[in-house]
């Protein structure tokens, strides 16, 4: 990607988190869905490891995808539209903090202007990393993001709820620690009630991303009123496609934006 364009997109994506209100970032799984979503007027896109896994005939889950597969998908989506793209990097694709840092740098080389990194292990028997280890890896990701020559928005995730450990106290403690490590955005996917969202918002000052959940769920105006800055769809639409069932019109999550033209 042209460095001037990447700097512009990085700045644009970072500013979206300043409000007012929450913006919606949908999750395409290939270049075609990226173009379709860009035509709907969304202002940024996020890749989805789950959606990519399903497209490749694999189940979702840490360790199912190789780093080169994920980075190739990031490059294809970033090249398909003129929108900022943030990359789902799962747990960073490596055992060492240095591996996580390298993955962040490679995502930037692929055209991303942001990324998310989880605190998961890929081990069903022990799915979430100890806090100290997770923070060390988070700090390495932050250092890599700050070393880039353009604004790179790093989202750090506390995946307790997704990993079958619905421990809100520990989740909040992790998000607080990730903010202290330098996270630009904080994210705890799987939280499904307003009280939990409020608890997270009260504990941190960095922008918070919330995952869209099925009805009754939340609406974008409701989340905006609480103080959420970003709403993502995750692999939800890809799951609907895979199961050949309707997920509705998407109006609950779409913002009334004028469609933007994509590159030919």
Q: Which of 181, 1, 206, 170 lies closest to 87 in space, CA to CA?
A: 1
What is the pLDDT, as a whole number, of residue 214? 65
Residue 133 parent element (H or E) = helix 131-146
Q: Which CATH class is domain 3-243?
A: alpha beta
Size of the chain in residues: 264
Crossing angle of the two packed helices 67-80 and 31-38, in degrees rounded to 10: 40
How crowded is residue 5: how many other Cβ atoms within 10 Å of its Cβ? 13
Is the full-model pTM beyond 0.85? yes
**pLDDT above 50 for 40:** yes
State the Cα angle at 194 between 221 and 117, rounded to 5°.
90
* 251 band by pLDDT with thresholds 50, 70 and 90: very low
**Which of 31 and 238 is assigned the larger pLDDT?**
31
What is the pLDDT, as a whole number, of residue 249? 37
Quick check: 77 and 28 in contact, CB under 8 A?
A: yes
pLDDT digits (tens, 9 = 90+) for 102-125: 999 999 999 999 999 999 998 989
* 250 band by pLDDT with thresholds 50, 70 and 90: very low
CA dihedral 236, 241, 242, 246 (to 10 degrees): 90
What is the pLDDT, as a whole number, of residue 139? 98
The domain segmentation of the chain, as residue ranges, is: 3-243
Residue 116 parent element (H or E) = strand 114-117
**pLDDT above 60 for 236:** no
203-223 b/e (C-beta count within 10 Å ≥ 16 → b):
ebebbbbbbbeeeeebbbeeb
Token representation of residue 54: 């399903």
Token representation of residue 195: 């009280």
């Amino acid at each position: 990607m042209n460095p001037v364009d990447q700097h512009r997109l990085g700045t644009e994506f970072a500013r979206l988190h300043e409000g007012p209100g929450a913006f919606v970032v949908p999750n395409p799984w290939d270049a075609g869905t990226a173009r379709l979503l860009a035509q709907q007027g969304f202002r940024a896109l996020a890749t989805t490891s789950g959606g990519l896994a399903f497209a490749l005939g694999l189940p979702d889950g840490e360790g199912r995808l190789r780093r080169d597969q994920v980075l190739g998908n990031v490059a294809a989506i970033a090249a398909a539209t003129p929108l900022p793209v943030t990359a789902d990097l799962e747990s960073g694709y490596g055992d060492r903090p240095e591996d996580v840092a390298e993955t962040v740098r490679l995502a930037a080389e692929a055209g991303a202007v942001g990324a998310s990194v989880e605190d998961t292990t890929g081990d069903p028997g022990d799915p979430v990393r100890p806090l100290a280890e997770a923070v060390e890896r988070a700090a390495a990701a932050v250092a890599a993001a700050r070393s880039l020559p353009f604004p790179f928005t790093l989202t750090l995730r506390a995946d307790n709820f997704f990993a079958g450990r619905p421990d809100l106290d520990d989740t909040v403690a992790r998000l607080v620690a990730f903010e202290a490590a330098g996270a630009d955005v904080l994210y705890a996917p799987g939280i499904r009630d307003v009280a939990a969202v409020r608890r997270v918002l009260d504990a941190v000052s960095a922008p918070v991303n919330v995952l869209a959940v099925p009805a009754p769920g939340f609406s974008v105006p409701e989340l905006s009123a609480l103080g959420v800055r970003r709403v993502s769809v995750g692999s939800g639409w890809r799951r609907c496609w895979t199961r050949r069932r309707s997920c509705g019109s998407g109006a609950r999550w779409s913002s009334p934006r004028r469609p933007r033209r994509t590159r030919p």
